[in-house]
Homo-oligomer: A and B are copies of this chain.
Amino acid sequence: METLRSFVGGRWVAGSGSPQTLLNPATEEPLAQVSSEGIDLAAALGHAREVGGRALRGLTFAERGALLRGIADALQEERDALLQLGIANGGNTRSDAKFDVDGAIGTLLAYVDVANALGARKFLVDGDGLQLGRSARFHGQHIAVPRRGVAVHINAFNFPAWGFAEKAAVALLAGMPVLSKPATSSAMVAHRIMQVVVEKKLLPEGALSFLVGAPRDLPAQLGAQDVLAFTGSGDTGARLRALANVIRHSVRVNIEADSLNAAVLGPEAEPRSDMYELFLKDVVRDMTQKAGQKCTAIRRILVPREIFLSVKDDLVELLTPIKVGNPAEEDTRMGPLATKSQLEDAHKGVALLKGRLAFGDLERRPKGYFLSPILVESPGEAVHEHEVFGPVASLLPYEANAAELVARGNGGLVCSLYSEDQAFLEETIHAVAPFHGRVFIGHPKIELSPGPGTVLPQLVHGGPGRAGGGEELGGARGLALYLQRVALEGPRPSIQKLLG
């Protein structure tokens, strides 16, 4: 059985102690083992900060972008092997695995474009120069420079490729070295990516480190110039944010956590209309793609009370033929959950919702972490409070209170609205916007619409409150997490010469 190693301090290092075993979640077959015990984390962080930081800060944005392009190209070459690993280790269907790997490549390439737009500078110029006094000599200019620490990325199990890329692309472009820690259970994809980066020498030494296995006390070793970006559960996010060093040294922390994303079918919706069909299609995709294990997946389906039964019947009809099984088999439409503990959490979560199952069952298979798509109706209050991270969504009728129901999620990543009623759209957008990082408006005339569950690198990703209060991506906006904005104040000639 393969042993996955970490890449820290410029070399591959195997942990000691008793390893964790990575499985195929469809077959429970062991695939690899990992341990991070005994790895010198302080030295790993120090090497990244010193060697990697200096190398990246010496490059222009365009040069850093060329590095990202190199990674994107290498992932494209390695695509088939990565898809196979996603299928075996992630429980992904081939389509799920493509969503992850192609998402990674697309995000890297989007940041190549951002890099090229920023061009030959090594730091950001933020806004125009300002005349501060009566004479033009007294001048102000904001710039934003790379922080001198390391960006530690703790990624979720569901997107080992995309999750790596969306965080690393932005930090590397900003000029900060990265230490990337994939979720252990699905680490084989990220591990292969790291191997490719190392084998092909795609980055300067120290620019990217990789820790596989338990993070141990890594977050507790971060200081004032470091950044911690985490995607995962709200409970873990809260623990990270409460660490004494994080609080004491104002460590920058970005968290993407739980989200009860709502999709709202507009009040004017007619069953069988194009908008209605689009809504059903997006709901079913979000429930089943990656077995519902997307932080942006629709969890609350809000429909006008008068067509509630129609929507329910149609969703049941669409969910019925979804074949759940081993994604290595060609006719499988939905794979298993990623781990046994994810499956157990999903079962507990469905029970917490206290609703009736309009579709699906809770039967367990003898092998593999399978769960059928589950459509809940008449759920309890927990539908606005507890995210079930699996192929589970709740159907809720609304009357005039759609926006109020949405807001009860207390902060989410995305809310989607399916309507052509401009007054309804505007009123609802104004009401739900403060609670979200993104509002998606579905429209049947948009070809190849990715639906609300797809995160685009051009748009910000994150959300307030329950969603963790973070913000990533959004083109150049995402760089801010890794930069220190500083106001330069003084004689105009000196400042202008510095800007070049």
Q: Could you list which residues of chain A lie within 8 angstroms of chain B, going by C-beta atoms?
A: 127, 130, 132-135, 137-138, 140, 142-143, 145-148, 223-225, 234, 238, 241-242, 247-252, 255, 410-411, 417, 420, 422, 425-426, 429-430, 433-443, 445-449, 452, 456, 458-460, 464-471, 474-475, 477, 484-491, 494-495, 497-498
Contact = CB atoms under 8 A, between A and B. Distances in A.
A476 to B, nearest CB: 9
Contacts of A410: 223-224, 249
9 contacts: A132-B458, A140-B456, A140-B459, A142-B474, A223-B465, A224-B410, A250-B467, A250-B470, A452-B489
A125 to B, nearest CB: 13
Closest 10 CB pairs of A and B: A441-B490, A224-B465, A250-B469, A459-B487, A443-B491, A438-B487, A433-B486, A145-B433, A138-B446, A148-B434
A458 B140 contact: yes
A210 B223 CA distance: 36
Contacts of A425: 494, 498
A224 B489 contact: no
Given A138-B446, A247-B242, A446-B138, A489 B441 contact: yes
Contacts of A467: 250
Nearest to A417: B490
- Residue among A248, A411, A433, A443 with the highest chain B CB neighbour number at 10 A: A433
A127 B475 CA distance: 11
Nearest to A489: B440
Contacts of A456: 132, 140, 489
- Residue among A142, A477, A484 with the highest chain B CB neighbour number at 10 A: A484
Contacts of A477: 127, 142, 485
A419 to B, nearest CB: 9
A356 B336 CA distance: 70
Nearest to A419: B494
Contact of A250 (B411, B426, B488): B411
A223 B411 CA distance: 11
Contacts of A130: 458-459, 475
Given A448-B133, A497-B422, A487 B460 contact: yes
A249 B142 CA distance: 31
Contacts of A411: 224, 249-250
B250 A464 contact: yes
B225 A134 contact: no
Contacts of A132: 456, 458-459
A251 B466 CA distance: 10
